[in-house]
Structure formats: C-alpha cells, structure tokens
Amino acid sequence: MVKTPLQSPPRSAVNETVEWRLRQFEEQWKAETQFLSDAGRIINHPAFQAIISLGEPVVPFLLTDLESGPSLWVWALPEITGENPVPEADGGNIRKMTDAWLKWGLEKGLR
C-alpha cells in the first residue's frame, strides 16, 4: 500500500481546530491502513500517531465517534489519557473496549 508523507494541515486561524486536524489525519490513516490487520502497523502509522499527539483536546471528539460504534480509537485513548478502563478479559474485543471508554467518558464528564 502506498504511504504518503504525513499531511500537516495548513495553519490558519480559521481551520486549525482540533477536530479539523483530527479529520485530516483520520482520512489519511483510514485510507492507508484500511486493508491491514497488523495492529502494530495501524497504531504506528504516522497519521495515527499525529492524532495521539493532538493530546487531551481530541478526546471528546474520539468519544463522540465511539458513540457511533466500535472504533480503533480505543487504541489511541490509553496513549492520550494515560488511563485504560478496559478489563484485561476484554482486550481485543473492540465493541466491549468501546463501551468501557464510553463509560469512562461519562464518569469524567467528557460526554
């Protein structure tokens, strides 16, 4: 799969919102990892790492996405927050991991 250089969004006061940057990186990440099963390559993709680098301000947007269904944002959230509410027994069950993060978001007042 062709990997394009990380596309940093142009900097401007109008479009440089956290969500705008998230969606730019997300689009690139999805396109370039869509056929991969290797979780290491998916997580280490530069666009996924760029999303993690957006830090805590991106967390509410990731949680909103989780409300739509299972998402691999569950692999980014521990890196961003330094927390992990997923029980050991549910590791890899993306649906249950999503539920655990949604519950965590409610408890933190982020949803």
Partner 1 sequence: MSDRLLAAFPGLRTTSFQITSPPDFAYNCIAWAANDCTEWWWPLDDSRQCFWPVGVERQVTLEAFVLAFQTRGYSVCEDQSLEAGFVKVALFADADRVPTHAARQLPSGRWTSKLGHSEDIGHDLRALEGAIYGSVVLFLKRPA
Closest to partner 1 by CB, 36 vs 106, is 36
Closest to partner 1 by CB, 94 vs 110, is 94
Residue among 68, 69, 73 at smallest CA distance from 25: 73
Closest to partner 1 by CB, 58 vs 100, is 100
User: Helix 94-107 vs helix 59-66: angle between axes, to the nearest 10 degrees?
Assistant: 130
Binding residues (CB under 8 A) for partner 1: these are 1, 30, 33-40, 42-43, 69-72, 74-75, 78, 84, 86, 88, 90-95
**Separation between Cα atoms, residue 35 and residue 42, nearest integer Å:** 10
